[in-house]
Amino acid sequence: MLKELCLINGISGREDEVRDYIIGLLPSDCAYGVDNLGNLIVEKKGSKRPKNKIMLSAHMDEVGFIITYITDDGFLKFAPVGGIDARVVFGRSVTVGERKVSGVIASKAVHHLSADELKKAPDFDEMYIDIGAENRKQAEHYVNIGDSAYFNSDYTLYGNGFVKAKALDDRMGCKILIDILNSDTEYDFTACFVTQEEIGTRGAAVAAYNVKPDFAVVLEGTTANDVSGVPEGKKVCVLGGGAVVSYMDSGTVYDFQLYKRALKIAEDNGIKCQTKTAVAGGNDAAAIHKSCGGVKTIAVSVPTRYIHSPSCVAKLEDIESVKLLAQKLIGELAND
Amino acid sequence: MDILEVIEKLTACSGTPGAEGDAVETAEKYLSEYGETRTDKLGNLICEIEGGRSGILLDAHIDRVGLIVTSITPEGFLRVAKCGGIDGRTLLARQVTVYGREKIKGVTASVPPHLQRRGEDSKAVEIGDILIDIGMDYENAVKAVQPGDRITVDSELLHLAGKKIAAPALDDRCGIAAVLYALHTLKGRECGRKITVVFSTREEVGGSGARVASYNADAQECIAVDVSFAKTPDSRAEECGILGGGPMIGCAPSLDREISEKLKLIAGEKRIPYQLEIMNGRTGTNADCIGVSGKGFRCGLLSVPLRYMHTGVEVVSLNDVKNTGELLAQYILDGGVFDA
């Protein structure tokens, strides 16, 4: 299921295909609705009614590109949707537009670069997508301005339990949430598959307003930098270290009691868990904790290398840890 | 002959400089249709097709750019150097294949934007900073991989509009396809010349393969088939050909003037689209080293126009590949420069 989820394309605001796929996997006893921002909100019935309303959330959108212009000679100019390092873009193959045509992201050949140009990475405004069209008219036959474009990237298992794919951020969260919805739970909760995270946690703000939870648990992929040469304190979090629970990131200062409690729950239940060693990144908690007059919110994340690139990497056992901790949190917070 | 199928098979091979084995094996299946094949001390694939006097040598190189493992870090990541002039700008966050004890998958590491210092994303990445993540700790990594093992960046063949394709290693596997197409066209037709075909190794690291293969070749003239730059929006017209405009006939002080002129003449007569590539000295192709190998050769050069050279998404037009093969065949049928 994670493979299919990652291979589906959906930048912010174009999450339709992801949402349709998820709806197809919902258990028949769950009521669901789609709100004005495209958030999919699912009510899961447990065996008991909780005292507190619990919201679990994962975002459906991924980083990608939007076509902004077609040149006279048929090349497509584009802009990133979400935070993409321009250096992971050059020389990639992409799928473009409603007709899903193939293209390549390119710029001047390396042989034609000046000494100064060789020191620089090509910026977005120096690159274009080549779909093989001879001119604008021919290109317009395949692509319209405003269409989206996506990295072509296989879902590949490698090494000792690692997975590489595009969009692991946050289709891993979607997968965990789908798994939890399809298992027996003790208490009712609301699952939200939200939109537009990558352009400023916009879907989650609306979803939280519509759900009005007492507690929210955000399921995410978070940035890990545990590669060679990075000092221990700067790795942020490590693959294989288990679920990541954060005290603070660029978008949220988390409820400290809730943070400590999550670590304790993990410890008590033998679930691998770690915190971040840096204040970096952000997620839907930023929007959710400020909505409806305040929501106690926690983010439980899968450590992810090379995030926002076409080759995100995660460890399968960490995905399982995040699921286990999220399930425990529902039970603990329901009657807090 | 299905040019696309040949290119698909050839571009799926690794074959970095000095390790061309699997590409040679694949090319050999096609080349052996036309005569007995052999490999020499540098791994060049050679086929001599008997046909009479005044032999001609046809060369296309079979190696492709890639990476070579230089060391394994204590954390089990691989450090690498370039093996050929691969475009370093394309190396972050890529899926790669490591040809270790077994073929394994890996990913080139990148620092996520969330953790970068301001301005870091505008700097070109240094090859010495590239790390390959193979998902193993040191103990397992050293069992699976050793320094000297080769790495290629994974990239699949894509179909673009108007009979164009994007793929890795089209430099120069599409040249190989063009030579094979020429042989296919010549099959069963009397050309009265001995043809020696060399699919040469190590072009991307200086052309030692072609130099060695041509040393004793029973030929007086040579046509090298390679790729050259096709116009992109940001390149200068005078430095580039047009994609889809037909083979580029090389004209340079290091090339034989008469061969260049004859190629033009024949393309005109046979209505094969062509364009000229004017260079002011050497050509940067195997024609340079073949020309001065052994007793020396009169050299011509045909290039398939190609965009985004040395990336995993090189683009060519299949029509250009076919027309390059066609022009080569017509030139040989006409007798080359020695019968002129």
Reported ipTM: the value is 0.86
Chain Cα centroid distance, residue B326: 19
Q: What is the 3-state secondary structure (H, E, C) of B245-305?
A: CCCEEEECCCCCHHHHHHHHHHHHHCCCCCEEEECCCCCCCHHHHHHCCCCCCEEEEEEEE
Note whether residue B159 is domain-resident.
Answer: no
Mark whether B13 and B43 lie in a shared domain.
yes
Minimal Cβ distance to A130: which of B124, B137, B307: B307
pLDDT of residue B340: 41
Mark whether B267 and B321 lie in a shared domain.
yes
Mark whether B139 and B225 lie in a shared domain.
no
Domain definitions of chain A by residue range: 2-62+166-334, 64-151
pLDDT of residue B212: 95
Mark whether B172 and B301 lie in a shared domain.
yes
pLDDT tops 90 at residue A119: no
Number of domains in chain B: 2
Mark whether B103 and B41 lie in a shared domain.
no
Q: How far is the C-alpha of A99 from the C-alpha of A101, rounded, in Å?
A: 6
For residue B229, list chain A residues with Cβ-Cβ distance below 8 A: 109, 111-112
* Best mutation target, B92, B227, B285, to test chain A (most A CBs within 10 A): B92
Write down the residue that tokens 């036959």 correspond to.
Answer: A141
CB atoms within 10 A of CB B238: 6
Mark whether B104 and B211 lie in a shared domain.
no
The SS3 call for residue B220 is: coil
Helix, strand, coil distribution of chain A in percent, nearest 5: 30, 30, 45
Closest chain A residue to B106 measured between Cα atoms? Answer: A158
Cα-flanking dihedrals φ and ψ of residue A48, to 5°?
A: -130, 160
Q: Quote the pTM value.
A: 0.90
**Would you say A256 and A248 are in contact if contact means Cβ atoms under 8 Å apart?**
no
A83–B140: do the CB atoms touch at under 8 Å? no
The SS3 call for residue A330 is: helix
* Best mutation target, B114, B153, B232, B238, to test chain A (most A CBs within 10 A): B114
Quote the strand ranges of chain A, DSSP E: 31-34, 40-44, 54-59, 64-70, 76-81, 93-96, 101-106, 128-130, 148-151, 156-158, 162-165, 189-194, 215-224, 243-245, 273-274, 296-305, 312-315
Cα-flanking dihedrals φ and ψ of residue B40, to 5°?
A: -105, -170
Tallying the residues shown for chain B, one arrives at 340
Q: What angle do CA A127, A132, A137 make, to 5 degrees?
A: 95
Minimal Cβ distance to B134: which of A119, A133, A158: A158
Q: What is the DSSP letter of A217?
A: E
- pLDDT tens, A300-330? 999 999 999 999 999 999 999 999 999 999 9
By CB neighbour count within 10 A (0-12 exposed, 13-18 middle, 19+ buried), where does B222 fall?
A: buried
Domain range enclosing B59: 3-64+168-333
* Best mutation target, A150, A306, A317, to test chain B (most B CBs within 10 A): A306
Q: How far is the C-alpha of A229 from the C-alpha of B111, rounded, in Å?
A: 12
Asked if residue A73 has a cis previous peptide bond (ω within 30° of 0), the answer is: no
Mark whether B14 and B138 lie in a shared domain.
no
Mark whether B242 and B303 lie in a shared domain.
yes
- pLDDT tens, A155-181? 999 999 999 999 999 999 999 999 999
B110–A88: do the CB atoms touch at under 8 Å? yes
pLDDT tops 80 at residue B338: no
Domain boundary residue among B153, B180, B197? B153
Mark whether B134 and B193 lie in a shared domain.
no
Q: Which of B119, B78, B111 is nearest to A236 (CA)?
A: B111
In this structure, what CATH number is given to the domain that contains residue B133?
A: 2.40.30.40
Closest chain B residue to A141 measured between Cα atoms? Answer: B161
**Would you say A306 and B107 are in contact if contact means Cβ atoms under 8 Å apart?**
yes
Mark whether B214 and B305 lie in a shared domain.
yes
The topology under which CATH files domain A2-62+166-334 is: Aminopeptidase (3.40.630)
Q: For chain B, give the percent of residues with pLDDT over 70.
A: 98
At the top level of CATH, the class of A64-151 is: mainly beta
Minimal Cβ distance to A106: which of B93, B232, B244: B232
- pLDDT tens, B48-74? 998 877 699 999 999 999 999 999 999
Mark whether B205 and B306 lie in a shared domain.
yes
Average confidence (pLDDT) over B201-216: 94
Note whether residue B160 is domain-resident.
Answer: no
Q: Nearest C-alpha of chain A: how many angstroms from B196?
A: 31
Mark whether B135 and B55 lie in a shared domain.
no
CB atoms within 10 A of CB A31: 10
In this structure, what CATH number is given to the domain that contains residue B287?
A: 3.40.630.10
Minimal Cβ distance to A85: which of B121, B236, B309: B121
pLDDT tops 70 at residue B21: yes
Q: Which of B10, B319, B320, B305 is nearest to B157 (CA)?
A: B10
The catalytic residue positions of A are 197
Write down the residue that tokens 């683009």 correspond to.
Answer: B315
Chain Cα centroid distance, residue B121: 31
pLDDT of residue B276: 96
- pLDDT tens, B260-305? 999 999 999 999 999 999 999 999 999 999 999 988 999 999 999 9
Q: How far is the C-alpha of B219 from the C-alpha of B259, rounded, in Å?
A: 14
pLDDT of residue A261: 95
Phi-psi region of A103 (alpha: psi -120 to 50; beta: other; left: phi over 0): beta
Note whether residue B263 is domain-resident.
Answer: yes
